Structure 1
Amino acid sequence: MDESFGRKEKLKSKKLIEILFQKGKSVKSFPLRLIYLPIENKQHVQFQTGVSVPKRIVKTAVQRNRIKRLMREAYRKNKYLVTNASGTSYAFMILYMTPKEMGYEELFKAMEKLMGKFKEKETWEN
């Protein structure tokens, strides 16, 4: 089981992020929201993932950065839940949706639930 979150797995393309927000589908598990879109991936990576904490919701940069760090770690530990053998690549954007700062355990459980909902929805659609 690969628990890395390397450079190739990070979502950095502005064009892809724009398309993701325009055409992507979403799944929610409080306080997280996952926007996803199947993509054609040239880097042979199953998921390209980005995390975001809106400035409108969490005011201070210190808190935003801490939440993003915790979200990346929770994703890294739970991404095994969504890996599939079909070879379909996805672009993910995980958004934090509450002004209340949450601890790692709560975020970890929410991420676990979110990945489960995505897996359910993905298998339902295919």
Structure 2
Amino acid sequence: MRLTYNKHEKLKSQKAIEKLFEQGKSVSAYPLRMVYLKNDTTLKVGVSASKRNFKKAVDRIRVKRLLREGYRLNKNLLIDNNNDHFTLMILYLSKEMPDFEVINQKMKTLLSKFNDQISKQ
């Protein structure tokens, strides 16, 4: 499996994002939180860092890059264990600038919690 984060996998639709936050469920591994909703098409993933926590755009962009990279490297945990399609939004909640090691470890924890939660349904 190729570890990529292609254009077709990115969550961009405003309607899908609104529906996700209205009807979605969440799982968290601090400082990460994932809101998810089952859909009929393909896996769509978005990342977010709050403007309230990171005033400078360069800091928000850095956090989002780290989140995307952590997801890209660990998405095999998500795809290998699951045949369903989901819309996901990964949020960074802390106010401190993260290290990649922290993001990578917490992303593994978050995806394993997500797999556990959807397997119970």
TM-score (norm 2): 0.96
C-alpha RMSD of the superposition:
1.1
Identity across the alignment (%): 40
1:6 — aligned with what?
6
1:112 — aligned with what?
108
Residues 1:30 and 2:26 aligned together: no
1:90 — aligned with what?
86
State the number of aligned residues.
121
User: 2:95 and 2:67 mapped to 1: Cα distance?
Assistant: 15
Please state whether the residue corresponding to 1:83 is helix, strand or coil: helix
User: 2:58 and 2:82 mapped to 1: Cα distance?
Assistant: 39
Q: Gaps (5+ residues) in structure 1?
A: none
Please state whether the residue corresponding to 1:82 is helix, strand or coil: helix
User: 2:78 and 2:3 mapped to 1: Cα distance?
Assistant: 12
Q: Gaps (5+ residues) in structure 2?
A: none
How much does 1:87 deviate? 3.1
User: 2:107 and 2:116 mapped to 1: Cα distance?
Assistant: 14
How much does 1:85 deviate? 6.5
Summarize the alignment of residues 22-101 of structure 1 with structure 2, pairs less than 5 Å apart.
22-41=22-41, 45=42, 47-84=43-80, 87-101=83-97
Stretches (4+) displaced over 2 A = 84-87
User: 1:106 and 1:86 mapped to 2: Cα distance?
Assistant: 25
User: 1:76 and 1:31 mapped to 2: Cα distance?
Assistant: 18
TM-score (norm 1): 0.92
User: 1:69 and 1:50 mapped to 2: Cα distance?
Assistant: 11
